[in-house]
Amino acid sequence: MMNLEDHLSLGDFHVSNLIKNHISRGSSKQALLLYEGIRRKGVFFQGWIPLLLKACACVPCVVLGKLLHSESIKFGICSDVMVGSSLINMYGKCGCVVSARKVFDEMPERNVATWNAMIGGYMSNGDAVSATRLFEEINGSRNTVTWIEMMKGYGKRNETEKAKELFERMPIELKNVKAWSVMLGVYVSNREMEAARKLFEEIPEKNSFVWSLMISGYFRIGDVHEATAIFNRVFARDLVIWNGLITGYAQNGYSDDAIDAFYKMQREGFDADAVTVSSVLSACAQLGRLDVGREVHSLINFKGIELNQFVSNALIDMYAKCGDLENATSVFESLSLRSVACWNSMISCLAIHGKCKEALEMFRTMESFDTKPDEITFLAVLTACVHGGFLEEGLKIFLEMKTKDVKPNVKHFGCLIHLLGRSGKLKEAYGLVREMPVKPNDTVLGGLLGACKVHMDTEMAEQVMKIIETMESSRNSYSENHLVSISNLYAQTERWQTAEMFRVEMEKRGLKKSPGFSSLVLT
């Protein structure tokens, strides 16, 4: 493998291509890390600045973007049109629209790319008025991108009608396949598939991206049948379209179909990439198909598919959910760069397998690596506390969420309530339910009701049922599980008449206790 000195010895344009490759593969952070290493050696080439500003916009990273801005001033290239346009784009994507406008106003020369960057910056930051003002001002010099920036902005604001009006105003000579696909994307991203389908049938030239948009759009609204029908209409399929099908099946729980499509894709001569294997591994995790998961892992090694954060996270998750803790740990330990998603998967993996102390240790190790935990991290580690019965540690971790600027949701409160209930602190758990800033769901209340059953506290159970009654009065129905739990509790405490009353209530509503099932995979 080439080191930094080897790359520099091949010249500035080689390094430029290296930066471009990182960005095109979605590894903008790697491009920025490469540049940091180069600057430490005192090397500078002005041609790198626009590329690196693009990487900052992708991450986004305004701190390094400002440093690059300073360097462009220092080396006297800030007035260059390409550098200025790149600065406007970077500031706009990083949410610093005032700084973007300052650069725009101070530029001695502008081209259409400069105007497009400023219009895009306004639209992406929700200022449609300023964007429209510039759009009208550049009237005679608009290109396809100018119109696209406005349409995309309206799409993000859920203003599909305004996007449609612009598209219909767009000169016919500028309506290329990119413009059609952007308008289609506006409808798809806003789940307006009926309008999307109408536009789709009108598109004169449908490329791979257009077909993929429709497939993913139908999968997004859960219409698996229509997504499959669109796929079957494609004669010239490519990897992007196959990935759309496989990913859609996996995300909608059609895991067997995802695996079947994966094998069919290979039979038709297409090699899997990182997107393919991530989706198939997700399907394997859902089904517990360790055999296929191992096969996919072997394929990753054989084909040299990059272990990016999505692939590595999918591998860890698959092994964890298939019960192979050893291989999950092996994959995790082999990673030189660990994303927060990988840490989350490993903590969850340990918790699932009853390694609760190890999960807590992993959480503390994560913090020592200066990786900031997110809401999924805290949910995983609180789950470990619930499984292990670590009340004191759980309370401490819950309080840490505030110091880490992570807002707890109903699932985090649910873990804490479960932990308090399991520890016999039913009054504290009930108090938390009454005071929590989010509305408790069936899972939270069911967990507290279950704790009342374990500790045979009918008085507290009745208080919980009052909350459930208030919540479910609008639906005019009780949850089947709640009725079963309260009936069983009364039966355990030998209050047979009350228990029978709830059983009768279940029969009146046509509810039956759902039987449990176990699955066994023979290998």
pLDDT per position as a tens digit, 156-194: 999 999 999 999 999 999 999 999 999 999 999 999 999
Token digits for 165? 């009006």
Give 272-295 pLDDT, tens digit per residue.
999 999 999 999 999 999 999 999
| Measured distance CA(377)–CA(206) in Å, rounded | 42
pLDDT at position 471: 64
Question: CA 398 from chain center: how many Å?
Answer: 23
- Residue 403 has phi, psi (to 5 degrees) of -70, -25
Lowest mean pLDDT among 63-67, 104-108, 469-473, 480-484: 480-484
Percent of the chain scored above 70 by pLDDT? 87
211-244: pLDDT as tens digits = 999 999 999 999 999 999 999 999 999 999 999 9
Q: Rounded to an integer, what distance in angstroms lies between the CA atom of residue 423 and that of residue 344?
A: 26
- Which residues have CB under 8 Å from 90's CB, separation 6+? 53, 54, 56, 57, 60, 62, 65, 68
More confident residue, 412 or 476: 412
Residue 475: per-residue pLDDT: 46
| Number of neighbouring beta carbons within 10 Å of residue 33 | 14
**Band of pLDDT at residue 513, cut at 50, 70 and 90:** low
Confidence of residue 309 (pLDDT cuts 50, 70, 90): confident
Q: Among residues 431, 387, 435, which one has the least CA distance to residue 408?
A: 435
φ, ψ for residue 448 (rounded to 5)? -70, -40
User: Could you tell me how far CA 84 lies from the centroid of its own chain?
Assistant: 32
- Residue 463 has a pLDDT of 79
Give the C-alpha distances (Å, rounded to integers) separating 106 from 67, 99, 110, 141, 377: 18, 11, 10, 20, 45
Domains of the chain as residue ranges with CATH: 1-138 (1.25.40.10), 143-235 (1.25.40.10), 237-337 (1.25.40.10)
Q: Are 429 and 400 in contact (CB under 8 A)?
A: no
Q: Is the pLDDT of residue 113 over 70?
A: yes
Which position has the token pair 């016999």? 424
pLDDT tens string 483-510: 555 555 555 555 555 555 655 655 555 5
What pLDDT is recorded for position 209? 94
| Average pLDDT over every residue of 410-418 | 91
What is the helix (H) or strand (E) element at residue 49, kind and residue range?
Answer: helix 49-58
pLDDT in tens, 321-371: 999 999 999 999 998 888 898 999 999 999 988 999 999 999 999 989 888
pLDDT level of residue 140 (50, 70, 90 thresholds): confident
Which tops the pLDDT comparison, 382 or 469?
Answer: 382
Report pTM. 0.79
What pLDDT sits at residue 474?
A: 43
Looking at every residue in the chain, the average pLDDT score rounds to 88
Residue range 431-479, pLDDT digits in tens: 998 888 988 887 787 778 778 777 777 777 777 777 776 665 444 444 5
pLDDT of residue 477: 45
DSSP string, 122-188: HHHTT-HHHHHHHHHHTGGG--HHHHHHHHHHHHHTT-HHHHHHHHHHS-GGG--HHHHHHHHHHHH
- Comparing CA positions, the residue from 348, 396, 341, 398 lying closest to residue 374 is 341
- Label residue 504 left, alpha or beta by phi (over 0 means left) and psi (-120 to 50 means alpha): alpha
